[in-house]
Structure 1
Amino acid sequence: MFHPTVARLTYRALLGRRRALILFALPALLVIIALAVRMIAGADDSTAGGILGGFALGTMVPLIGVIAGTGAIGPEIDDGSVVYLLAKPVPRPTIILTKLLVAIGVTVAFSAVPVLLAGFLLNGNSQQIAVGYAVAAAVASVAYSALFLLFGTITRHAVVFGLVYALVWEALVGTLVPGAKTLSIQQWALAVGQKAAAEGAIISDVQLPLAIGLLVALTVAATWYAGRRLKALTLAGEE
């Protein structure tokens, strides 16, 4: 279910010059902020949690997910080059799964790893905050990649929809509106990260069993439907 050629082409597309600049810029900004705060204010658990939870998990991770998830397939559908891929004797579910795994790998590398580094810079991993938020970022990366990959298969405006979801729903509604928090990938990921950190260091409004169930359900459903959408694309001459 993993195709090396599709993976190589997807990596090349995601790490092209324009996307690579954005992918590197966001983690670099997080690390710079963490270093500056540590030099100015010293180690502080509350400040570390605010930066890692607010900027990193609340903004940076979903934005990277948008770039990786939609970029894994959206541009190929938009410019029509996907027909060359679909003409190959590769099952379409395999194409989707391969692209999802690549998107997850890129999102984890550019989000969870910088979050871990920033956490150590901010407070030396006091109360396991760095590890907890890094785990949350990795878990969120999986769900974001699946969701935004799905967006890439159903609309030509996948990036716009992804940004609306990331910046409006996750960063604003899902953080401030109590009822909406249950439907927030960020809150689900925090529930997992909460178990990796010291008690009380990370707080989520969603219970862990529900969070895991929703994360799995979203990832599986989005991947399955993305595969269905790709199968629905027909080539000239196909019956």
Structure 2
Amino acid sequence: MTREFSGLSAVVTGGGSGIGLAAARLLADRGASVACLDLDPAGVPADLLGLRCDVTDAVSVTEAVATAADRLGGLDILVNNAGTGAQGTIEANPDDEWHRVLDVNVLGVVRVSRAALPHLRASSAAAIVNTCSIVATTGLPNRALYSATKGAVQALTLAMAADHVDEGIRVNCVNPGTVDTPWVRRLLDSADDPAGELAALRARQPIRRLVSAAEVAAAIAYLASPLAAATTGTVLAVDGGMHGLRLPPAGPGPGRRDG
């Protein structure tokens, strides 16, 4: 495994589990010093710095980022991964739910990035990677609110990349498909037919399975890496082919393929 992050420091929000923890673990394995910011950092391994942070609270964000930069000796990489989900059409979620999810998924990126920028400007390898979603570019049913927030994150990523390119700060985002995370598993467990729902999630991705957190982490590590110094303003899909491929459904029959 390469050690291209040796001597660099990274902050990962939502780093207590799922994609965030997988990304933090991979960055550390490749040499970075890593702080995981999370509402509940209890699951952060001892070799990583776990800090409590509420991305909807500006004071909490400012204090957590400052502590991380102090403890790690600076800040070179920010992974904005903290987020929350929502289901339903535009009729399903009341205004306060729209405000709550937008506050986490969009303004959370703004608050953490704003707190990190003074530290990133001092780095010669500064990079921000935002965790977005395939729903930013592909319409899925019953995801109106979530899609709106992730569309905003993708647009914000490109705007940030333009704003900070002259400062030497690269900004990119990764767009996962449906990822096998604790959050997705909780959604499945609450469904009337968990096995059927899981089969449907697998079937809608051309690779016919869920994306793994490790696969998304690998994409995050690439975008954050000094080896990708010419990559900014890029949207990297890790979606099992959902965005670009149109394949016949799995199963027997003319024009179909084996599942």
Give TM-score, length-normalised by structure 1: 0.29
Structure number with greater CO (CA < 8 Å, separation at least 6) is 1
Which TM-score applies when normalising by structure 2?
A: 0.28
